[in-house]
């Protein structure tokens, strides 16, 4: 029995149902959903031509042009794409921008091939509106607890040891500092980031309706992604748990996360260019904060990192990075963090090493008053 067209956006996002996006590629790139795949009815040029026709001569003329452009060859290309998607995802749905003409044309073409496939009423626009509304609901209804700690104290590591969390940096594909860009991908577009965040929080609320939510301490931006205002304002008022970790341990965590673990990824991705790319990652990001470091300190850390890179490339050992990392932490990141912490000191609810913080989180977040 054929599934009916749907307005149940919540079910789509809670269950990560595959979505066939038949908008033009240019529309998809401006904003999409994590479980969507672009299999367009019209390419960018066709969309532009039909849109112009619609504005100048009306809907009937635009439809007539669309039928003229849909040559047998183009029609078969589209149907072949759609069939592949539907065979892989029989549980899915299709959509266009508003759930109108393009969705129904796609359905009709498929129906002629004996394939019934349901569409999402309201299309992308309605789903996007739903997710923006749900982001507001999540910020209003879910109690937040902020995980803070000096740079390198292992906040993200702790985050993944509890179920009561959403990883903002993971969703943004960025670690949130000058050295935060990930080797294996760009950050999502702002709209995509907001969609991902809203879906993650919606799913969290339904998994743990009574629980609080642990979020890593972040500023207004994670790389180029801007925190939604409702979310950021809620975070600024939330109670704070402080992860304590000594300098030597923090240097080790930074070296492991940013150097020892990253270098093999650069080798895999860039092969012969890996040394140049990784050197740029280390030295160019250091250069970005030269003004704030001051010339003397910058020169010292830069020289230290250049020696460390030579040893890493020659032997695979990363221990020479410790000196430069320690200087960065003590002279740059720690003073900035302590200044910010002074503004939050009244909100610090608990502090301690990882094991103690983790125990506190698992005990206190499982059932918080809404």
How many other CB atoms are there within 10 angstroms of residue 202's CB atom?
A: 20
* Coil/strand/helix, residue 164: coil
DSSP string for 10-41: HHHHHTT--EEE-S-HHHHHH---TTEEE--S
Tell me the H-state helices in 208-294. Answer: 229-237, 247-254, 262-270, 274-288, 290-293
**Is the distance from CB of 38 to CB of 28 less than 8 angstroms?**
yes
Closest among 224, 216, 243 to 359, alpha carbons compared: 243
245 is catalytic: no
Beta strands 221-222; 225-226: pairing state: antiparallel
**Would you state the structure tokens that stand for residue 369, as one six-digit string?**
């008053």
**Is the distance from CB of 79 to CB of 95 less than 8 angstroms?**
no
Active-site residue (options: 96, 201, 230, 245): 96
**Is the distance from CB of 168 to CB of 102 less than 8 angstroms?**
no
Closest among 216, 211, 219 to 242, alpha carbons compared: 216
**Is the distance from CB of 84 to CB of 90 less than 8 angstroms?**
no
**Is the distance from CB of 165 to CB of 215 less than 8 angstroms?**
yes
Q: Which residues are annotated as catalytic?
A: 96
């Amino acid at each position: 029995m054929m599934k009916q067209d749907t307005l149940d956006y919540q079910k789509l996002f809670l269950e990560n149902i595959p979505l066939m996006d038949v908008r033009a590629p240019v529309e998809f790139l401006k904003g999409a959903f994590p479980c969507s795949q672009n299999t367009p009815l019209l390419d960018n040029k066709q969309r532009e031509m039909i849109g112009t026709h619609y504005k100048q001569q009306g809907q009937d003329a635009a439809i007539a042009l669309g039928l003229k452009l849909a040559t047998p060859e183009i029609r078969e290309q589209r149907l072949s794409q759609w069939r592949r998607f539907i065979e892989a995802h029989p549980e899915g749905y299709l959509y266009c921008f508003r759930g109108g003409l393009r969705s129904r044309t796609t359905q009709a073409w498929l129906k002629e091939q004996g394939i019934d496939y349901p569409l999402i009423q309201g299309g992308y626009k309605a789903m996007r509106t739903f997710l923006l509304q749900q982001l507001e609901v999540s910020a209003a209804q879910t109690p937040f607890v902020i995980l803070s700690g000096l740079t390198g104290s292992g906040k993200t590591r702790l985050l993944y040891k509890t179920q009561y969390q959403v990883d903002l940096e993971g969703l943004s594909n960025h670690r949130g500092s000058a050295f935060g860009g990930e080797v294996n991908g760009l950050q999502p577009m702002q709209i995509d980031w907001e969609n991902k965040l809203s879906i993650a929080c919606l799913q969290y609320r339904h998994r743990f309706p009574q629980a609080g939510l642990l979020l890593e301490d972040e500023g207004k931006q994670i790389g180029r992604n801007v925190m939604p205002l409702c979310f950021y304002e809620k975070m600024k008022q939330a109670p704070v748990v402080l992860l304590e970790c000594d300098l030597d341990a923090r240097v080790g965590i930074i070296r492991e996360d940013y150097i020892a673990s990253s270098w093999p990824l650069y080798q895999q991705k860039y092969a012969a260019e890996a040394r140049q790319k990784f050197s740029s990652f280390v030295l160019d990001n250091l250069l970005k904060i030269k003004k704030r470091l001051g010339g003397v300190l910058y020169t010292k850390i830069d020289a230290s990192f250049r020696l460390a890179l030579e040893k890493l490339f020659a032997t695979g050992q990363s221990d020479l990075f410790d000196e430069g990392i320690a200087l960065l932490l003590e002279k740059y990141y720690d003073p900035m963090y302590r200044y910010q912490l002074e503004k939050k000191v009244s909100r610090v609810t608990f502090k301690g090493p990882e094991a103690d913080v983790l125990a506190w989180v698992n005990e206190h977040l499982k059932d918080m008053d809404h």
